[in-house]
Structure 1
Amino acid sequence: MRILEELKQVAEQVENEQVNLFIEALKQAECIFVCGEGRSGLMGKAFAMRLMHAGYPVYVTGETITPSIQEDDLLVAISGSGNTPSVALVAEQAAKSKANVHLVTTNRESKIQKIADHQVIIPAATKHRRKGEPATIQPMGNQFDQSVHLLLDAVVISMTGDDKDIHDLMKRNHANLQ
């Protein structure tokens, strides 16, 4: 299937060192905050949910129960272009609060990158189809969104390591008021 081959090619180009630094920052954060718009925001919410299942203190920006971000906290900003105005505003606010800002993006030289302490580059196609983005049979930013989802799930799995009880912990933390 062509889509799976495209995702494999993108994943093979992600720099392991960037991901390892991201994982260490997540582990060290007092609280983790996640932001993104549109489908990037949905991928961020899925990531936040998995982090919560794994026992990490995590919030999604813009929700009514989200507290203020503090100095030892980490903001994960997800933006394919790295220039999404609302995400840039949140990143600026987090940086002013002296929180650590990590960007997940396709764009090495973006507005948010200039604010971020670290970035993870996912070399996937976005809806903008900028020069240098890979060819894809998929519309819009599907390739980026899917790649983000897979990468961030892999990050959570890596963060839980060889913990044999992680499935049980995640199951206990799963919503039960449904």
Structure 2
Amino acid sequence: MKKIIRMIGEEVVSVLSKIDEEEALMVSTLLNKSKRIFVYGDGRSGLMGKAFAMRLMHGGYTVYVVGETITPSIEEDDLLILISGSGSSDMMYDFAKKAWNIGGNVILITTNRDSKIASVSHHVLVIPAATKYRRKVEPETIQPLGNQFDQSVHLVLDGIIIHSLQMNETLAQDMLKRHANLE
């Protein structure tokens, strides 16, 4: 068991070491410039997106998860963040086009810079991890499906939030006030 856990950790460290810092900094910059943030991903990428949205809310950002009942319409100058390992979801492609046409900014977090969704995104943050598709350019992994991508996305987005909050000087006490208290 310890060997497997160590190997997973080493894989993720390897992926994280290859993140383009400028791409990650652009995400941070756009988070701090946007009046509202919308986050979406399918499946486990969606779960990573919801965790990201929760942390943004704790940090004082106005954030919504696309598809939830209380999510309003996206508007000009809003930010749409899409998380897709393959970058090929038809629905996310349509979301990106709609946000673009309205005047919103679109960020795609993916493994595939040349994907369909990337072609209609303003910015792309590449996570050079393995997905369930196991394309030739993806790293080797002992993990099934898109585990390596999901884990790496989670950690990269946490790093982006920490950096973004440091830029805004948000205090930990303020974050605690916004943490759920009906639990």
Fold shared per TM-score above 0.5: yes
With normalisation by structure 1, the TM-score equals 0.97
SS of 1:120's partner is strand
Mapped partners of 1:22, 1:164: distance in 2: 17
Work out whether residues 37 and 86 of structure 1, in 8 Å CA contact, stay in contact via their aligned partners in 2. Answer: no
Work out whether residues 59 and 170 of structure 2, in 8 Å CA contact, stay in contact via their aligned partners in 1. Answer: no
SS of 2:117's partner is helix
Aligned pair count reads 178
Mapped partners of 2:11, 2:63: distance in 1: 31
Work out whether residues 123 and 134 of structure 1, in 8 Å CA contact, stay in contact via their aligned partners in 2. Answer: yes
With normalisation by structure 2, the TM-score equals 0.94
Work out whether residues 81 and 106 of structure 2, in 8 Å CA contact, stay in contact via their aligned partners in 1. Answer: yes
Q: What's the % identity of the aligned pairs?
A: 53
Provide the aligned C-alpha RMSD in A: 1.2
Q: Give the CA deviation at 1:162.
A: 7.1
What runs of 5+ residues in structure 1 fail to find an aligned partner? none
Counterpart selection for 1:150 from 128, 148, 155 = 155
Q: Which amino acid aligns with 1:173?
A: R
Q: Give the CA deviation at 1:164.
A: 7.1
Mapped partners of 2:163, 2:141: distance in 1: 28
Counterpart selection for 1:174 from 169, 176, 179 = 179
Q: Provide runs of 4+ in structure 1 moved above 3 Å.
A: 162-165
Aligned residue in 1 for 2:131: 126
SS of 2:143's partner is coil
Mapped partners of 1:11, 1:135: distance in 2: 14
Mapped partners of 1:76, 1:39: distance in 2: 15
Change (3 A) 1:162 1:20: closer
Q: Which amino acid aligns with 1:175?
A: A
Work out whether residues 19 and 120 of structure 1, in 8 Å CA contact, stay in contact via their aligned partners in 2. Answer: yes
Aligned residue in 2 for 1:39: 44
What runs of 5+ residues in structure 2 fail to find an aligned partner? 1-5
Aligned residue in 2 for 1:87: 92
SS of 2:108's partner is strand
Work out whether residues 39 and 145 of structure 1, in 8 Å CA contact, stay in contact via their aligned partners in 2. Answer: yes
